[in-house]
Structure 1
Amino acid sequence: MSNNTRGALVVVGSGPGIGSHVARTFSSHGFKRIILLSRDPSRLEQDAKFIHSTTPSADISTLSIDLSKTSEIPSALVQVDKALGDTPLEVVLFNAARVGPSTLVEWPMEELELDLRIKVTGCYAVVQWAIPKLLAVKSSHKPAFLCTSGSIYKDPIPEVFSLSVCKAGQHNLIHSMHKKYKEEGVYCGLVAVGGVVADDRPQCNAENIANKFWALYEQRNDLEVEILDG
């Protein structure tokens, strides 16, 4: 596929780490229409500048979305529809997360519910919006739904049990999508990061993770790739 036929990339949960690096990597491979979503408008502007530093010609829109407020997600996605305009949706990256300690039993139930809304219910809401659009372009593009995961979906850490629970739910959802839609022409997959993301990490750095996402998207075979340090 030539670069000028690429559709749009939508990043849900943009930020200075994985989200913006994936957007920058995809833009360098011909994705010039990019829509970034996050709760923090000022951070979104920094992410757009970061992508433009590599791809000045990229057409970038930034929109605020708070996945914890599930009743507001549909209206936020309507704004994404408007930003897409005539450009078909080709790839979605779901990268939204709330990362922090959560102690078993002591962690308030309301906080677990909040995490589940952001990472699982929010992801499902985006899936419901995206899949029909991705199926609609399978004959002309390479549609995909990608998700940032973590090794804790299968090897939970009690000190961050809430994140572990949510990543398990996400993995199950994306796995179900992979089974259902692969033969229908939409690739669904995830990158499981097995460590803290930082620039000084040999494997778990944002640039390497972004390259793994691109390889996964291009190869379109396996459900996931896991990245581990050490």
Structure 2
Amino acid sequence: MTNTRGALVVVGSGPGIGSHVARTFSTHAFERIILLSRDPSRLDKDAEFIRAKTPSADISTLPIDLSKTSDIPSALAQVDKALGDTPLEAVLFNAARVGPSTLVEWPIEELETDIRIKVTGCYAVAQWAIPKLLAVKDTHKPAFLCTSGSIYKDPIPEVFSLAACKAAQHNLVHSMHKKYKEEGVYCGLVAVGGVVADENPQCNAENIANKTWDLYEKRNDLEVEIVDP
């Protein structure tokens, strides 16, 4: 096992969990950080946020729109170029479209978009990432991590679309956990049971990032659940 960390790819970067997890991993000597988001205007700010803590961080930023399934392979090909010779060691899948969805009134097309982003997108990234992670299992600590929420098991009707997609996503990553843990790749979930806000004692981005690092390092369980009292 080498002391040199490889690359972290964050799919769904942003001012909350994504950039904070990337910053935390950068402080633990990850050689390269690659940030992906459907909002390109956010990416430079996220990179600056990480460099403020880790000036030496090697950061690449790339746009990706998981709602356009046919465009995902070309986006991931750009990630391959950004990786260069750096081995992929960890992936954080944090992509989501968060907002209200009214039961029965929510258009089918919108539900399908959510599924493409959160479920199909997660599966597409896993298809790309797992072979790379398996390839470094003897020299690194490969992991595929996914942010989730307590609504996968306790849905809120007002955001049923998000809840339904998180349930499917949880099932997918759970299957990956069962299959790949014995093969040397850890797959786990960070279940956030509340709104992410700086003022919350547990559900704040800094604490979530630290819990994500602990999950990555210890890799004892399928998931860590983070909730406020």
TM-score (norm. length: structure 1): 0.98
Secondary structure of the equivalent of 1:130? helix
Q: What is the match of residue 32 of structure 2?
A: 33
Pairing 1:72–2:52 present: no
Pairing 1:105–2:104 present: yes
Secondary structure of the equivalent of 1:53? helix
Secondary structure of the equivalent of 2:67? coil
**CA-to-aligned-CA distance 1:35-58 (integer Å, 9 cap, x gap):** 000011120000000000000000
Q: What is the match of residue 217 of structure 2?
A: 218
Amino acid at match of 1:204: C
Q: What is the match of residue 11 of structure 1?
A: 10
Retained in 1: the 8 A contact 2:33–2:57? yes
Q: What is the match of residue 138 of structure 1?
A: 137
Q: How does 1:27-176 map to 2 (within 5 A)?
A: 27-176=26-175
Detail structure 1 runs of 4+ shifted over 6 Å in the superposition.
none
Identity over aligned pairs, percent: 86
Distance in 2, Cα, partners of 1:151 & 1:227: 9
Deviation at 1:32, TM superposition (A): 3.0
CA RMSD of aligned residues (A): 0.8
Distance in 1, Cα, partners of 2:102 & 2:40: 31
Retained in 1: the 8 A contact 2:2–2:139? no
**CA-to-aligned-CA distance 1:91-125 (integer Å, 9 cap, x gap):** 00000000000010010000000000000000000
Deviation at 1:2, TM superposition (A): 6.2
Secondary structure of the equivalent of 1:171? helix
Distance in 2, Cα, partners of 1:129 & 1:172: 19
TM-score (norm. length: structure 2): 0.99
Deviation at 1:221, TM superposition (A): 1.2
Amino acid at match of 1:101: P
**CA-to-aligned-CA distance 1:157-214 (integer Å, 9 cap, x gap):** 0000000000001100000000000000000001100000000011000000000100
Structure 2 unaligned segments of length 5 or more: list them: none
Count matched residues.
229
